[in-house]
Structure 1
Amino acid sequence: MTRGIGYYVHHQGVGHWQRACAIAAALDRPCTLIGTLAGVETAEAPGPVLDLPDDRLDDGFAGLDGEAERPRSLHYAPLAHPGIRARMARIAAWAADTDPLLLVVDVSVEVALFARLLSLPSLVFRLAGTRTDLPHLEAFRSADRLIAPFPAALEAEGVPDWVRAKTDYAGFLGRPIAQRPGAEAGADGPIVVVFGRGGGGGAHADLAAAARSVPERDWHVLGPVTGSGTLPANLHLHGWVADADPWIARAGLVVGGAGDGVVAAVAARGKRFVCLPEERAYGEQIEKARALARLGAAVVHAGWPEAALWPGLVRAGLALDPAPIAGLSDPHAIGHAAALIERQARRRESAASGSR
């Protein structure tokens, strides 16, 4: 019987879950998806699911636990939290019962280090940004290999050489883009603004001012918007949409943050891009936006621009050559990531057979 693996899924946003399902479906061996999955539609999972108790504090999850003192190799280890105790016990019981070959961790320093304590080999996802703090580096040391869900061209400056050498760059691991004949638009298409679930969304007044400053273009906004008021005729608010790709396909220019989902979707369609990186831990979006600017793949502006700046930003965005950003997309990235995982699983399988 083929030995399986586990895949730990972080519960911030939906991107981790979506790529976990896509990668697991491409694997040639059983894969158990593990995580706090309340509110996630797990019916789409391509295999077994292990739902864990929630580890978040009453005020949510900000990446740190607020403890006055904690071991320096950890980010999140609140004391007297029964949810954490129960989730770690459940992971340990699963490992003992199923004897997996390895655990893919996307992402958690604590789960990566716990896997090592369980004598369970791991492949750890390394997100964009400068993650050179001690907890991240110790998690990276604990892993067999690291998987970067972005192209090597978007690597941050200042990443240690040993971390780069241990990293396999899988490329953007978003949903495969289905070609829709006749759906694509060139530079004459509308402006499409995309706000992902991981951010705070847009402000009604800011969007209205931007649309009024470029009245010759229709503006279509996808994602949450706060506030209310009179909309200019060229501004259309669509709220959350299950699939942003048809809108991006019709765009002449896309405006959005530097999250993996948005950048991957823009690159897959080869769209001209005005990138407004948002504040994230470890400079994840800032570093990625800087790399996009270096490559000539986007016009970058920190924060939401004042209304007077929009005409120039739109002109600069429309003047971009789409080739650099299109060159960042790999339609086979999911299969590439699955092959990386399978290769490491086979190495572990071979090592286990040789030791018997």
Structure 2
Amino acid sequence: MSRRPIGYYVHHHGAGHLHRAEAIRAKASRPIVLLGTGMKDGDIDLPDDRPPSGRFDGIDQAASRPDALHYAPLFHEGVRLRAAKITNWIAEAEPSLLVVDVSVEVAMIARLASVPTVYVRLGGERSDPAHLDAFRGASAILAPFQPAFEVPTIPDWVREKTLYVPGVTAPPVRAQAHANRILVVMGQGGEPGDGDLIADAARACPQWRWRVIGPATPARDCPANLEMCGWVSRPEVEIAHAAIVVGSAGDGLVGAVMAADKPFICIPQERPFGEQEASGRGLKALGAAIVVPEWPAGLCWPRLLEDAVGRPAAPRRGLYDPHAASKVAEWLERHADLMLERGELQA
């Protein structure tokens, strides 16, 4: 088996990309090097490519842009240095494969640098020219969700090229849940939670203890059964202690909640390409979560919590495979070897 490393590009929008990469690397038998903004020692820390505002929705505001690209602003030093650092690492490390999670631009850079790619395809409407070119240029596609979450617009040839492996996440923490604890999880990829709306929900359910992690605005009138914790270092521990989890439909959170086997009230957030809306529809269709389009009014919460507790566990348990990360790691290593063998035959 070749010891040439596998590269894994990690997008900086939302935490799910990094958690997925770390879970896969922990099960791999060969080196996997992560490339992304904010990486630690031993990996490749890339310059930030976000606009000066810090807001990032995956598409630049350029007057014109090739159809094969989503985000390619002109005269952006971070973008320029980022591309150079990726190609320099490719030239020095000679990776056998680059997993792209996610960026059509990085997939294009890798292909131009003569490296095969596995593209991580998230849910939602991704039949635009740029995504289709990234899928076409990849040697394989990885979808970290159930085929049942697919949208009908995805072409058959993309589906045929895709390995579906839901639940690629770190093993859940095993701990005793607090019988009356609600955990509200606000992710880093969207707007902060509305503290006043959360406070209204807590007041409507005084028999429950509400605990909020992640960014949220302060509540003007915070009830005694509500605790705003901000960022925490180990959200998986918080999930383990919860009786019910409330949060968005991001891949990382959905995977962690399903792995922990917790009743889930899912509130999909707006994301590029309708990713979370698609995941929400899939969760609802499978009966794996209660899905609502927006934060419910306070008086709705007692019934919602009752319904969440009474929902059968089997559908959500079907969305977690404890061996998912191992399966993906083994598949990537086999695929890397196959690509090298094909390359040697073509040389």
Do the two structures share a fold, i.e. TM-score over 0.5? yes
* CA distance in 2 between partners of 1:213 and 1:178 (Å): 30
Q: 1:195·1:202 contact (CA, 8 Å) conserved in 2? A: yes
Secondary structure at the aligned position of 1:6 is classed as strand
CA deviation string 1:239-283 (max 9, x = no partner): 222222333233332211111122112111221111111111111
CA deviation string 1:173-229 (max 9, x = no partner): 22211323xx146xx432221112222232221111111112222222222220332
**Aligned residue for 1:258?**
249
Q: How does 1:211-222 map to 2 (within 5 A)?
A: 211-222=202-213
**Aligned residue for 1:67?**
62
1:53 to 40, 47, 50: 47
Q: 2:182·2:244 contact (CA, 8 Å) conserved in 1? A: yes
Q: Which amino acid in the other structure matches residue 253 of structure 1? A: I
Query: Which structure has the higher relative contact order (CA within 8 Å, separation 6+)?
Result: 2
Question: How far apart are residue 2 of structure 1 and its match?
Answer: 2.1
Secondary structure at the aligned position of 2:135 is classed as helix
Q: Percent identity?
A: 47
* CA distance in 1 between partners of 2:206 and 2:240 (Å): 21
Q: Which amino acid in the other structure matches residue 273 of structure 2? A: Y
Q: 1:249 to 1:143 in 2, by over 3 A?
A: same
Secondary structure at the aligned position of 2:198 is classed as helix
**Aligned residue for 1:325?**
316
Q: 1:201·1:224 contact (CA, 8 Å) conserved in 2? A: yes
* CA distance in 2 between partners of 1:72 and 1:276 (Å): 32
1:248 to 214, 219, 239: 239
| 1:95 partnered with 2:93 | no
CA deviation string 1:142-185 (max 9, x = no partner): 100001122333333332211111111122222211323xx146
Q: How does 1:231-310 map to 2 (within 5 A)?
A: 231-310=222-301
1:225 to 204, 216, 221: 216
CA deviation string 1:301-342 (max 9, x = no partner): 101111222222222222211111111011111111111211
* CA distance in 1 between partners of 2:241 and 2:84 (Å): 48
Secondary structure at the aligned position of 2:7 is classed as strand
Question: How far apart are residue 355 of structure 1 and its match?
Answer: 4.2
Aligned-CA RMSD value: 1.8
CA deviation string 1:60-107 (max 9, x = no partner): 232111001111111011112232222222222222222221211111
User: For structure 2, which runs of at least 5 residues remain unmatched after alignment?
Assistant: none
Q: 2:16·2:250 contact (CA, 8 Å) conserved in 1? A: no
* CA distance in 2 between partners of 1:52 and 1:92 (Å): 11
* CA distance in 2 between partners of 1:147 and 1:103 (Å): 12
* CA distance in 1 between partners of 2:241 and 2:173 (Å): 14
User: For structure 1, which runs of at least 5 residues remain unmatched after alignment?
Assistant: none
1:340 to 310, 331, 342: 331
Secondary structure at the aligned position of 2:228 is classed as strand
* CA distance in 2 between partners of 1:30 and 1:113 (Å): 23
Q: Which amino acid in the other structure matches residue 109 of structure 1? A: V
1:130 to 118, 125, 133: 125
Q: 1:208 to 1:104 in 2, by over 3 A?
A: same
Question: How far apart are residue 351 of structure 1 and its match?
Answer: 1.9
Q: 1:189·1:250 contact (CA, 8 Å) conserved in 2? A: no
1:112 to 101, 107, 119: 107
Count residues in correspondence.
Answer: 345
**Aligned residue for 2:164?**
169
Q: 2:5·2:31 contact (CA, 8 Å) conserved in 1? A: yes
TM-score normalised to the size of structure 1?
0.91
* CA distance in 2 between partners of 1:50 and 1:263 (Å): 28
* CA distance in 2 between partners of 1:193 and 1:81 (Å): 37
CA deviation string 1:25-75 (max 9, x = no partner): 3222222221222xx5x14xxxx4222222222122321110011111110
